[in-house]
Structure 1
Amino acid sequence: MRTLCSSTLIGELFVIGFAGLVAMKDPDLSTTTVWTVSGIAMFLCVVLCGVVTRPGGVALGWGLQLALIASGVFVPTMYFMGVLFAALWWASVHYGRKIDEAKARFAAQAGSPTTPDAA
């Protein structure tokens, strides 16, 4: 799960950075505000890569997905990108857990003797 989720988060990091560049063009938003918010979100992406498997890591990831969708208020394209990354986040968590379970089953089968002579 960690690999899939981290890949999604790194992709989001770049999207957030590019969205910050687009948001800078908005005359109603100050450059300082745009880069403070974008920087915090980008930093959170990196931190979540390390804590995604810890308790609450996936929930924080969902919070980031909601914030990404909500950023569509300022950069309308982010509605689409936010929903896209939320779907990717769901797939990363869902299929990542299935892969982890399959790896655990495989490791358990490999660790146990399959023939009576192996003991």
Structure 2
Amino acid sequence: MRTLCSSTLIGEFFVIGFAGLVAMNTSDLSTATVWTVSGVAMVLCLLLCGMVSRPGAVQIGWALQVGLILSGFVVSTMFILGALFAALWWASVHFGRKVDEAKARFAAQAAAERSA
């Protein structure tokens, strides 16, 4: 799960940065406000990459996805990109857990075969 979720978060890091550039030029918000919000979200993406396997990290990731969708009120394209990344986040969590379960099952099976 960690690899899939981290890949999604790194993609979001770049999208948030580019959205910050667009918002800086097209919105009525000050440059400081845009980069404070964008910077916090970008740092959160990077921190979550290392914390994905910890309790509560997936929920924080969902909150980040909601924030990404809501950023569409500033940069309208972010409604679409936010929904796309929310779908990618769901897929990363869902299929990542399945992959982790399969790896654990195969490791247990290999350990049982070695001991037999």
Distance 2:90 2:65 in 1: 10
Task: Report the structure number with the largest CA radius of gyration.
Answer: 1
TM-score (norm 2): 0.97
Q: What CA distance in whole angstroms lies between the structure 1 residues aligned with 2:2 and 2:83?
A: 21
5 Å-filtered alignment, 1:77-116, equals 77-113=77-113
> How far apart in 2 are the matches of 1:27 and 1:14?
19
Deviations 1:4-52 (A, max 9, x none): 0000000000000000000011251100000000000000000000111
Query: Higher helix fraction: Structure 1 or Structure 2?
Result: 2
Alpha-carbon distance in 1 for matches of 2:113, 2:73: 58
Determine what percentage of the aligned residue pairs are the same residue. 72
Kindly indicate whether residue 3 of structure 2 is the aligned counterpart of residue 3 of structure 1: yes
Paired residue type of 1:22: V
In the aligned structure 2, how far is the partner of 1:21 from the partner of 1:7? 22
Counterpart position of 2:15: 15
Aligned partner of 2:25 in structure 1 is: 25
Consecutive unaligned residues of structure 1, counting only runs of 5 or more, are: none
Q: Partners of 2:57 and 2:86 in 1: how far apart? A: 15
CA shift, 1:113, in A, is 2.2
Q: Kindly report structure 1 stretches of 4+ aligned residues shifted beyond 6 Å.
A: none
Look up the match of 1:47. 47
- In the superposition, the TM-score normalised over structure 1's length comes to 0.94
Structure 2 distance, partners of 1:4, 1:57, is 14
